[in-house]
Amino acid sequence: MSFPIRSPYEKVSGIVLVARLIDKVRLHAAGKLPEGYHLGFIPGNRTFDDRFCRFLHLSYDAFAESVLAGGTDDEILERCLAQGRRPNAEEIEVWNTFMMKRGWRDSGTPSLIRSKADAGLAHRDDLITFFELMDVEEGRRL
């Protein structure tokens, strides 16, 4: 059985992370979100959920409600875009690039180092982004 949460690299309508966040909301609603995974916001900590919602100018509750209303990933995202804002192609490119590189030579690097250590992967110098770490931890990459 494959891991129940999709890779952060998987895109919905050209935007990374959306598919993963949809999976997390659905799993949480079914009582099947794996231990250690969180939803929404953590006080004092910027999460990917938080960043995505801010990118769309959408509350996390509105995002979760859209997911739980059902539909395909594209339909869910379209509802979110209608409620929040619709980024243009350049904004999506900047978002995707920023998120795919998060943890590499930026303010997230110390957190990435801690996360790697917590996962027993401190020795993995090849893991330089959070997306890479997630894919290794979840068995999509060696």
Helix (H, G, I), strand (E, B) or coil at 11: strand
44-101: pLDDT as tens digits: 778 999 999 999 999 999 999 999 999 999 999 999 999 999 999 999 999 999 999 9
| CB count in 10 Å sphere of residue 96 | 16
The residues spanned by each domain of the chain are 11-101, 107-142
CA separation for the pair 78, 14 (Å, rounded): 12
94-139: pLDDT as tens digits: 999 999 999 999 999 999 999 999 999 999 999 999 999 999 999 9
pTM for this prediction: 0.94
